[in-house]
Chains A and B, each alone.
Chain A
Amino acid sequence: MSEQQPSRIAEAKRRALAAKQKLGVAAAAAFVAVAGLAWASHPGSTASASSGGSTSADQSSTDDSTFEQNDDFGGFDSFGSIAPSGGATPQAQTHVS
């Protein structure tokens, strides 16, 4: 009986230590994940990643809130519409500039 007592205590200490280690690893993994997300969402992150430590990206402007990210040039798949003027007086003119 007296011989089993230290063994159970030692086993409990071992389990507690293992639990602490797992908790530490999980916390470290969570920190890395959050830091990674923050880094990836920063507008300059790609520049840092691409620099390879030797070539840095210049920052030409800080204006980043003006326009949505759509493609303005939609190609030639849709058309406008033109028709005869019917002799009406022009309101505008097209020309080279």
Chain B
Amino acid sequence: MSRSAFRAMGVEVVVGAEDEASCDAVRRLVYRWDSVFSRFREGSELNRVNASSSELVVVSETFARAVRAALAAARATDGLVDPTVGAALLAAGYDRGFELLGADPRPTGSPVPGTWRSVSLAGRLLSRPQGTALDLNGVVKGLVVDEALRLLPERSFVSAGGDLATNSQVVVALPGGGALRLESGGLATSGQTGRRWLRGGVEQHHVIDPRTGRPSCSRWDEVTVAASSCLSADVAARAAFLLSDEGPGWLDERGLPGRFLADGTAFENDAWRLALSSEPIAA
């Protein structure tokens, strides 16, 4: 299996596949999605939609697909994964590419709780109240990884920013040490250790809790979840992270294995321990 890597969507994308032509197809796909959903590219469809003063916007099928997935994720997590946290990210100071963020003495803006129920989609017709700032990064990375895997032959995997999907066995290193064999589906990690910055003298991070409209105060540093796809794993990891103490049980209720890191110590939920017992068990 050859392994190629490139940067897109602000993260490293890794493709493991026998066929190098397929890797090029993945690269084109990821670049195309980045041009649609980037918050930091002038002229991206996301920015055009957010800048529109009309409550109704006809969007591309790619954009509609992401909104559809985002609303489904919001329903499945009771709004913990919310596509309307764009304004909250801006209020926290995440208003340019992360590599350009420095300590900013200005105070943060007012918190902006999520309002996903005000968003609706009929075909390609998107409706949302004026002033709603969509941020679809809660689903786009997982979506594009799953889509990229469909372009690849057997015995391949794709990873974007540490969230991956595979169609064959792949051994994956875990945060804080250790490894597991992902036999099918996806594995994703969400948390507050990756992107942090100072705003008004207070440390901020990019995982917004839609209930408060501010960066989450979760007790966890990072949460890793295995699921049937990268998108499902990513959504579940974010929800479990935001649920803090209730995260492990929330995952167990859904049969999803989760591993939680706090201050360098790992905590595994029942589904994780069961799956990684000596006999391989479907997670």
* Residues of A in contact with B (beta carbons under 8 Å apart): 43-44, 46-47, 50-51, 55-67, 71-76, 78-86, 88-97
Contact = CB atoms under 8 A, between A and B. Distances in A.
Nearest to A75: B76
A84 B278 contact: yes
B69 A94 contact: no
B14 A79 contact: no
Interface in B73-104: 73, 76
Dominant SS among interface residues on chain A: loop
Given A80-B227, A83-B181, A85-B180, A63 B60 contact: yes
A92 B235 CA distance: 20
Interface in B245-262: 254-257
Contacts of B127: 50
27 contacts: A46-B123, A51-B56, A57-B56, A57-B58, A58-B58, A59-B57, A61-B58, A61-B63, A64-B60, A72-B65, A72-B146, A73-B72, A73-B232, A75-B232, A78-B228, A79-B227, A82-B183, A82-B187, A82-B272, A91-B3, A94-B162, A94-B174, A94-B224, A96-B161, A96-B175, A96-B189, A96-B194
Contacts of A96: 161-162, 175, 189-194, 222
Interface of B: 1, 3, 10-12, 14, 16, 45, 48-49, 52, 54-63, 65, 68-69, 72-73, 76, 122-125, 127, 139, 141, 143, 146, 157, 159-164, 170-175, 178-195, 222, 224, 226-229, 231-233, 235-236, 254-257, 272, 275-276, 278, 280-283
A73 B139 contact: yes
A55 B57 CA distance: 11
B280 A73 contact: no
